[in-house]
């Protein structure tokens, strides 16, 4: 067992002791006579096997990559047991041409670190932009668009930084980051140096846009991983599952970056002044999300083998670290972040993917509950993963991309998790161990989540070294689909073939006084007493970005009583009696909205 695995397993076991004691005490007090010595006790001495309830009607996903015209292979090389080669890459859904249909950008990792000069272009891993043809297929327009990039790509984040109505693109790399401005003519041009976001070489990971200061334009937070250096490995080290060259504990952490938008096409880096530099964290992901219901985006940072950090927005351009007070500063190997109101109690929760044997974390926000109980408005979370089917089900996996998503349109947020190992085969060190991806169905606040991967289509029986993943209803049939980036393997488009007949609503926002991308806007939907919340831009997944269109499942409900949008500018728009099964485009401050009705699809 490697140093990292031993260290993190000890930490995980130590953290699990209070939960085990509490579970034993609860069981012991309830029924002293039920225990038989040597018996496997569910949730205490045995793996928690949760049988899927009969009420689960099921959603299946079809691999639609080939028929959609997508041909992408990540990192077409033999790895050389160096950490930067193993961590990427991501993908982003964006409507770059404003036709109402999401297009797909996929980052690639061009070449091994040992190969700085490459003359054979066929062996370079190129990034790709696929234009949505609006018929279920895509066209590769990477070269024409100026995004046929040969970089050691990590993360992608799309946002309209200059408020011109065209979505721009930022990418992180092992090397220097890049910003591409959308010309609105089907092409992108690099503006990295002019915008003031270049010139910093490093091992950069996630990137997330937000108007954190609510001044009407998008700012940018970038996570830095480690200060990587090349290590000469002995034959014995090279033959290990985890040689020191791929163990992040070998390397020092590096600080993160916060670029404040100056409103003139340029940025100023202010992470230290704002208090979000996080120099002690080996950061992989960060997400902007309002956790204390004050309409200001807070910042949660997922760190690998170092404490995660929650920065609360002070509303004056600075942040305060409340990680320990809020009980979310866990020391595990954290990778991906999902943000959303999984229990429909009107405050945002967090889900974090972790390394093997550590359990993923479901941080349920207790803010609304404490307010309703008359207690002080202290932001505190409880890790409910073990109680709600997300803990032990993840022990055998290393999780990466993840997001809350209502796959079956029943009004409750489900989860996807992309898995893949960081350990290599000792007898074949050019390969990493593959793993299965997972789908979790949300059965409600009382029951929590059930893993339904085996019921969700043939893809979930296959194993890959998963990394990035992002959501979009690319075919605009009302349910959300998933694109997955597999390290040293094919990119996979999974089409959601939902035939349950549930109703839905999709909402796309355009800011006016607020930032044009409407990041930070909060949408509240009320239907027959059920309340659902979405926040635009609040899920960073892992190195990836979901579509900015927000989806709501309605089940058998046929009318939306109220649809309200709280914009970052402070204004609020409210619409009554909205019809379901439509895509609505809402522009800030307008009395009506555009609708696009989509007929129900039968496949």
Interior/surface letters 470-501, b for 16+ CB within 10 angstroms, e for the rest: bbbbbbbbbbbbbbbbbbbbbbbbbbbbbeee
Q: Residue 602: is its pLDDT beyond 60? A: no
- How many other C-beta atoms lie within 10 A of the C-beta of residue 119? 6
Report how far Cα 266 is from the mean position of its chain's Cα atoms.
27
DSSP secondary structure, 328-347, as one string: ----S-EEEEEEE-TT-SSS
Domain spans in the chain, listed from the N-terminal domain onward: 61-503, 504-597
Poorest-pLDDT segment among 36-45, 48-57, 505-514, 538-547: 36-45
DSSP secondary structure, 451-470, as one string: E-GGGS-GGGGS-B-EEEEE
The whole-number pLDDT of residue 32 equals 30
pLDDT one-digit tens code per residue, 401-423? 999 999 999 999 999 999 999 99
Closest CA to 465 of 521, 424, 526, 426: 424
Residues whose CB falls within 8 Å of the CB of residue 434, separated by 6 or more in sequence, listed in order: 420, 421, 463, 464, 465
Distance (Å, whole) CA 474 – CA 137 = 9
Distance (Å, whole) CA 322 – CA 247 = 29
Which pLDDT band holds residue 300 (cuts at 50, 70, 90)? very high
Which secondary structure element, helix H or strand E, spans residue 14, and what is its range? helix 3-30
Q: Which fold has domain 61-503?
A: Methylamine Dehydrogenase; Chain H (2.130.10)
Long-range contacts (CB closer than 8 Å, 24 or more residues apart) made by 240-244:
240/2, 240/426, 241/2, 241/423, 241/424, 241/425, 241/426, 242/2, 242/3, 242/4, 242/5, 242/422, 242/423, 242/424, 243/81, 243/424, 243/429
Distance (Å, whole) CA 309 – CA 221 = 14
pLDDT one-digit tens code per residue, 463-496? 999 999 999 999 999 999 999 999 999 999 999 9
Q: Residue 38: is its pLDDT beyond 70? A: no
Mean residue pLDDT across the chain: 90
Q: Residue 118: is its pLDDT beyond 60? A: no
Place of tokens 């996979």: 492
The whole-number pLDDT of residue 20 equals 42
The whole-number pLDDT of residue 593 equals 83
The whole-number pLDDT of residue 121 equals 58
Residue 435 · residue 463 · CB < 8 Å: yes
Place of tokens 């500063």: 329
pLDDT one-digit tens code per residue, 125-165? 999 999 999 999 999 999 999 999 999 999 999 999 999 99
The whole-number pLDDT of residue 595 equals 83
Distance (Å, whole) CA 304 – CA 286 = 12
Question: Residue 262 has what DSSP assignment?
Answer: -
Q: Residue 218: is its pLDDT beyond 70? A: yes
Pair of tokens at residue 76: 């077409």
pLDDT one-digit tens code per residue, 550-571? 999 999 999 999 999 999 999 9
Which pLDDT band holds residue 39 (cuts at 50, 70, 90)? very low
Q: Which fold has domain 504-597?
A: Immunoglobulin-like (2.60.40)
Which secondary structure element, helix H or strand E, spans residue 353, and what is its range? strand 349-354
Q: Residue 37: is its pLDDT beyond 80? A: no
Residue 556 · residue 502 · CB < 8 Å: yes
> Taking residues 382-386, what's their average pLDDT?
95
Distance (Å, whole) CA 165 – CA 105 = 18
CA dihedral 285, 154, 156, 92 (to 10 degrees): -100
pLDDT one-digit tens code per residue, 232-265? 989 898 889 999 999 999 999 999 999 999 999 9
Distance (Å, whole) CA 576 – CA 561 = 6
Residue 295 · residue 522 · CB < 8 Å: yes
Most distant CA pair in the chain, distance: 74
Distance (Å, whole) CA 165 – CA 548 = 14
The whole-number pLDDT of residue 599 equals 55
The whole-number pLDDT of residue 383 equals 96
- How many other C-beta atoms lie within 10 A of the C-beta of residue 236? 8
Poorest-pLDDT segment among 39-43, 143-147, 477-481, 508-512: 39-43
Distance (Å, whole) CA 344 – CA 428 = 47
Model confidence, pTM: 0.91
**β-bridge partners, 438:** 417
């Amino acid at each position: 067992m490697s140093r990292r695995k031993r260290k993190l397993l000890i930490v995980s076991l130590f953290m699990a002791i209070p939960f085990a004691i509490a579970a034993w005490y609860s069981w012991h007090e309830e029924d002293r006579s039920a225990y038989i010595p040597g018996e496997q006790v569910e949730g205490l001495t045995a793996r928690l096997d949760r049988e899927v309830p009969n009420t689960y009607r099921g959603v299946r996903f079809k691999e639609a990559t080939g028929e959609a015209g997508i041909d992408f292979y990540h990192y077409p090389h033999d790895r050389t047991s160096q950490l930067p080669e193993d961590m990427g890459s991501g993908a982003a859904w964006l409507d770059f041409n404003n036709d109402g249909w999401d297009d797909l950008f996929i980052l690639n990792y061009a070449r091994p670190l040992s190969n700085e000069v490459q003359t054979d272009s066929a062996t370079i891993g190129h990034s790709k932009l696929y234009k949505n043809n609006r018929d279920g297929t895509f066209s590769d327009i990477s070269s024409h668009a100026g995004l046929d990039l040969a970089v050691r790509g990590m993360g992608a984040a799309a946002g309209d930084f200059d408020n011109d109505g065209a979505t721009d693109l930022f990418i992180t790399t092992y090397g220097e980051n890049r910003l591409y401005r959308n010309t609105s003519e089907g092409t992108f041009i690099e503006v990295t140096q002019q915008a003031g976001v270049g010139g910093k070489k490093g091992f950069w990971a996630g990137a997330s846009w937000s108007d954190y200061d609510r001044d009407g334009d998008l700012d940018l937070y970038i996570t830095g991983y480690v200060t990587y250096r090349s290590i000469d490995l002995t034959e014995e080290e090279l033959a290990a599952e985890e040689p020191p060259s791929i163990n992040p504990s070998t390397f020092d952490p590096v600080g993160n970056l916060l670029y404040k938008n100056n409103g003139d096409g340029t940025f100023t880096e202010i992470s230290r002044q704002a208090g979000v530099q996080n120099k002690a964290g080996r950061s992989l992901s960060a997400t902007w999300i309002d956790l204390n219901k004050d309409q200001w985006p807070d910042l949660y940072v997922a760190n690998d083998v170092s404490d995660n950090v929650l920065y609360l927005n002070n509303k004056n351009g600075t942040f305060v670290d409340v990680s320990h007070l809020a009980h979310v500063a866990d020391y595990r190997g954290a990778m991906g972040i999902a943000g959303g109101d999984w229990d429909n109690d009107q405050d945002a929760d967090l889900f974090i993917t972790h390394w093997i044997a550590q359990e993923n974390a479901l941080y349920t926000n207790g803010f609304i509950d404490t307010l309703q109980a008359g207690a002080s408005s202290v932001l505190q979370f409880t890790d409910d993963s073990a109680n709600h089917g997300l803990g032990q089900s993840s022990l055998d996996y290393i999780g990466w991309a993840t997001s809350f998503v209502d796959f079956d349109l029943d009004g409750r947020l489900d989860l996807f998790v992309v898995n893949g190992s960081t350990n290599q085969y000792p007898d074949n060190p050019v390969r990493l161990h593959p793993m299965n991806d997972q789908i979790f169905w949300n059965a409600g606040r009382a029951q929590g989540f059930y893993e339904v991967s085996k019921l969700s289509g043939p893809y979930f029986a296959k194993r890959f070294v998963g990394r990035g993943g992002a959501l979009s209803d690319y075919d605009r049939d009302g349910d959300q689909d998933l694109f997955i980036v597999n390290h040293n393997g094919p990119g996979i488009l999974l089409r959601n073939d939902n035939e349950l007949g549930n109703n839905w609503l999709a909402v796309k926002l355009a800011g006016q006084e607020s930032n044009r991308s409407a990041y930070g806007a909060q949408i509240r939907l009320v239907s027959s007493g059920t309340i659902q919340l979405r926040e635009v831009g609040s899920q960073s997944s892992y190195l990836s970005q979901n579509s900015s269109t927000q989806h709501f499942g309605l089940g058998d409900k046929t009318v939306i009583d109220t649809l309200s949008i709280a914009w970052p500018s402070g204004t609020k728009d409210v619409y009554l009696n909205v019809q379901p099964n439509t895509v609505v485009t809402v522009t800030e401050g307008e009395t009506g909205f555009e609708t696009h009705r989509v007929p129900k699809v039968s496949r």
